[in-house]
Chain A
Amino acid sequence: MNLRDTPDEAAFRGELRAWLRDNLPEELRAHRGGAGRFEELGRAWSRKLYEAGYVGLTWPREYGGVGAPYSHQAIFFEELARAEAPQHIGVIGLGMAGPTIIAHGTDEQKSAHLRRILSAEEIWCQGFSEPEAGSDLAGLKTRAEERNGGFVVNGQKVWSSFAHIAEYCLLVTRSDPEAPKHEGLTYLMVDMRSPGIEVRPLRQITGEGEFNEIFFTDVEVPRENVLGEVGQGWSVAMTTLLHERGTLGFALTAALEAAVLKLIALAKERGVVDPGLRERIAREWVELQALRYTNYRALTKLMQTGIPGPEGSITKLHWSVSNQRLTKLALEILGPEAQLLDGGGYAEGYWQFQQLRSRGNTIEAGTSEILRNIVAERVLGLPRSR
């Protein structure tokens, strides 16, 4: 056990910290996010990160990655959070599409997409959820019919981040409606510029449009865009979700760290003296350490065995409620000012935006209820509920 950086890790951290100090544009510092807000800046920033060698840290070199140990990825997120720098804009491509293509893609698919994902030339979105298939993903209805050697797609997807700016969509479709629910699914990589695709932003409780609905009407998808085998879409989708939850921990810790540091700064600025509030602020810091060190345990296991341990499954459950509690606490510290938004309020409505946004945390990327089912059945070995 050694919680300090190794000489190699310390060198990487030092270089990265210096690079961020010299290269982070001021208008991106402490950007509160939201895909609609910063597409241009975000693409340029992502490209800069890529050119400096900070994207695809754990991806194999042959696919344009750096081939570095997982600890570098963790350090990258920590330093980004400390510098208040935004992440690479291609979250879905880096976290989900890329790893799935590496696992299931053909050589042609790998060379067509992987480098472009890293450089942010290709932003990806995810076409999983549907109006009637949320947690029960295998109930999806979007239809892919084989025609003229390719597929024709009809249907609707929802809750798709980045769809309005994405070049590609990771789409799970039903190719065989006669087959049992989990069979007969096919995984497609769909060019978002194809005729017949319509993207409609969904306005969220924050007032912003971060998610979208995607409508597919007779969209033609060439056969070479099938990822994995026809009919094997469920197992390919599971690879994607494994990666979504597997690499999430570092990013979540970084996001929570940034929020806790802001909370402490706010409390100091406002001179919070109430012992109850002070204790709750301390608790948020402790909860952050719990998340951080749980991640470190998971990271160590991953580096030693190559297989993620059960620790990873609890980080999102913990992060989501921590972020919800913390952002509400910040509003309490603001007191009567908590209602004021951009222009009149504190930090341009940062906390109000974050508090409202946090309600999505227990829903997106697996609801807390579904995550508890997963922990109950796969980690604790409790009898299956379905």
Chain B
Amino acid sequence: MDFAFTEEQELLRSQARSFLSDRFSLEAVAESEGRWDPATWAEVTELGWTGVSIPEDKGGAGLGFLEEAVIFEELGRVLYPGPFFATIALALPALAERAEAVAAGELTATLAWAEPGGPHTLTDLEGIATEARPEGGAWQLTGEKALVPDLGSVQTVVVAARGPDGLGLFAVEGGTRESLPTMDSTRALGRLRLEREPATLLVEPGAAEEVLHRTRVRALAALALEAVGIGAAATALAIQHASTREQFGRPIGVYQAVSHSVVDAYVGVELGRSLAYWAAWCVAEGDEQAPIAAAAAKAQVADAAVDACERSIQVHGGIGFTWEHVLHRLYKRAQWIQSFEGFGPVLRAEVAAALLDVSDAESEVLVEQQTLETQEVA
């Protein structure tokens, strides 16, 4: 049993943190109104972050989800507004053949699955109506996609569409794209209209469901990690403010009504951190607990991050309620994460089904943990 990041992974974290705090501080996010400068993508890719999990022969680092986990958390901490989550968590699993371009920073992408009349989540793929038609050796897509993350920031959209042989995943470069006003302006959602839009087949019918299922688990874990970063940032701001802001002649952190609320924020985020790292390990290992761990972690950590932001806003008093202060941006990202694939109750219903609607033998996998399995000797 070893539940810590390795020295190399911790080195990656400290490099990421110092680079990000110099280059993409929270203050800068507030000043730029949360807008993304596409020129910064080159800096992010130069650090190798887009190629972390891409094999070395395709220009990546050949590492795994635990290294990516570090990046997700650190990017969350500073609210980096670029399409990293969209490209790496949502699109990359379908882009195996274009991985080289992703690693090189030449390709940004997102995933479009939801549709205006439903489905809204990746658990309900049956209802996808966007149509894929073979036209003389190529494909054309027709339909409308909703709630597409970072649609306005990316080059390619991976679209889930139904062809004659079933659900497939297609790359679309064009289409009519509309970025919609979104509470979290650092990660706007968009609407994509496709009218006989030329497309390239990425994942064949038959395999698409599995890729989307795997993508969902990765994305939930990635967002749990981002939420850890958000919650930790909000808590750090609360600690700083409570230590320096004076009223009645003393720093307000001496008052227990203030300090205990900050402690509760910290405790929630740290418990969430444990869940997020557990989920990350499960994803990295392809452990059979991964789907439930990721759902449980995302549900819990998103709520913890929202709670930490709310407590931090309260501790800051009036200033925490202003547009100038960065807190509302952290708060809105935490709420964005909450809403993805459904709020806590929706995801906890999945956990409940895994615990209650199965025989005792089947729920063994959740109850038994990793016990009695030995680690492979390298």
Contacts and interface: CB of A to CB of B under 8 A. Distances in A.
Interface of A: 1-7, 9-10, 13-14, 17, 71, 74, 78, 261, 264, 267-268, 272, 275, 278-279, 281-283, 285-287, 289-294, 296-297, 299-301, 304, 310-311, 314, 317-318, 369, 372-373, 375-376, 379-385
Contacts of B266: 314, 375, 379-380
Given A78-B371, A376-B260, A383 B352 contact: no
**Which residue, B345, B355, B373, has most C-beta atoms of chain A within 10 A?**
B355
Interface stretch (B117-125, B195-203, B272-280): B272-280
A356 to B, nearest CB: 25
B348 A293 contact: no
B375 A2 contact: yes
A192 to B, nearest CB: 38
Nearest to A1: B281
A380 B300 contact: no
A305 B256 CA distance: 32
A311 B267 CA distance: 9
A3 B4 contact: no
A299 B3 contact: yes
A343 B275 CA distance: 40
B372 A13 contact: yes
Interface stretch (B171-179, B247-255, B320-328): B247-255
A372 B263 CA distance: 6
A235 to B, nearest CB: 25
Nearest to B373: A4
B271 interface: yes
Contacts of B5: 1
Contacts, number: 181
Decide if the interface of chain A is mainly helix, strand, loop or mixed: helix
Nearest to A385: B254
A314 B260 contact: no
B259 A282 contact: no
B256 A7 contact: no
Contact of A286 (B273, B277, B296, B356): B296
Interface string B231-253: 00000000100110000001101
A105 B55 CA distance: 58
Nearest to A10: B374
Given A375-B267, A380-B266, A7 B375 contact: yes
Contact of B377 (A7, A293, A317): A7
A291 B4 CA distance: 16
A78 B256 CA distance: 35
A306 B91 CA distance: 43
Contacts of A283: 348
Contacts of B372: 5, 10, 13-14, 17
Nearest to A281: B352
B361 to A, nearest CB: 13
Contacts of A299: 1, 3
Contacts of A375: 263, 266-267
Interface string B1-27: 111111000000000000000000000
B42 interface: no
Interface in B256-305: 256, 259-260, 262-264, 266-267, 270-275, 277-278, 281, 284, 293, 296, 299-300
Given A264-B356, A382-B253, A376 B374 contact: no
A372 B256 contact: yes
The 6 closest A-B pairs by CB, nearest first: A293-B274, A282-B351, A282-B352, A382-B253, A296-B3, A278-B352
21 contacts: A3-B1, A4-B375, A5-B370, A268-B360, A279-B348, A281-B356, A285-B355, A286-B299, A286-B300, A286-B351, A289-B278, A293-B274, A296-B1, A299-B3, A300-B1, A300-B4, A375-B266, A376-B263, A380-B266, A383-B251, A385-B256
A208 B254 CA distance: 39
B266, B267, B299 interface centre (most CB from chain A within 10 Å)? B267
Contacts of B371: 5, 10, 13, 78
B347 to A, nearest CB: 9
Given A297-B274, A375-B267, A1 B239 contact: no
Contacts of A301: 4
B92 interface: no
A1 B270 contact: no
B253 A1 contact: no
B211 interface: no
Given A290-B274, A297-B4, A369-B260, A4 B300 contact: no
B256 A314 contact: no
